[in-house]
Amino acid sequence: CLGFHEEYKAKKSLDELSHQLESEVAVRRNGETLQLNVKELVPGDVVLLVGGTIVPADTQWIKGDTVSVDTAPLTGEPIPRKYPGDHGDIILSGTTVVAGECYGRVMRTGEHTEIGNAQKEIMADKTVTVVSVFQKKIMLVVQILVSASFALVIAVLLVQGLYYNGFQDNVSQTILDALVILIASIPIALPLVLQVNMALGASHLATTYNAVVTSLPALQDIASMSMLCSDKTG
């Protein structure tokens, strides 16, 4: 319950942040100039791109200045590209116009854009259930405890049954003693304790460092890292 609560708060914070980052763009549609949210764009709309504008969709340059576009979010290149130019006349979504002013026709929106396809592949990977390093270690500890419990139960059965004649005098009591030891050795509260600790850690990160934790096991995975590698796109 605590883990769900922390992950729910993180998701809510991300939704609020995404809502704050929503922007509008000047659009020419059906002979009228409108100020629309980027989510409302459709292929065929003509948008005005000026310096500082984040390109809202894959857009084909129509007319205007030769614009300089920062493509670092997609390519990692620090030097802006010129459009139209050697790279064609399609300005990709997610890039930023650095200088110049032009009109462009929306060609692709949403998940059909270049960056949208990449995000779709990432989301597809997230649907695959992957056991974290932390969860593997916990399962290893549980397996060791359970194995030790079985060994202890067998030892109790042999000692009490053979040495103290438990199989002859009181079979049910001998089996009951073994079951008590087996049940008592299973770490029933272990998942709860771990979940509470990770939830408290996520809460501390949120209040102290303004960090948003969307997956509690990821906290321990990050803690177990010895080296983090990244390419030029970060």
Q: Cite the active site residues.
A: 231
The answer for residues whose C-beta is within 8 angstroms of residue 216's C-beta and 6 or more apart is: 3, 6, 7, 195, 198, 199, 202
DSSP character for 160?
A: I
Residue 134: which of 214, 10, 222, 196 has the closest Cα? 222
User: Exposed, middle or buried: residue 202 (CB in 10 Å: 0-12, 13-18, 19+)?
Assistant: buried
**DSSP code, position 54:** B
Give a three-class secondary structure readout of 77-111.
CCCCEEECECCECEECCCCEEEECEEEEEEEECHH
Provide CB contacts within 8 A for 203, sequence distance 6+.
6
Query: Across-strand partners of 90?
Result: 60
**Cα dihedral 27, 30, 34, 40 in deg (nearest 10):** -70
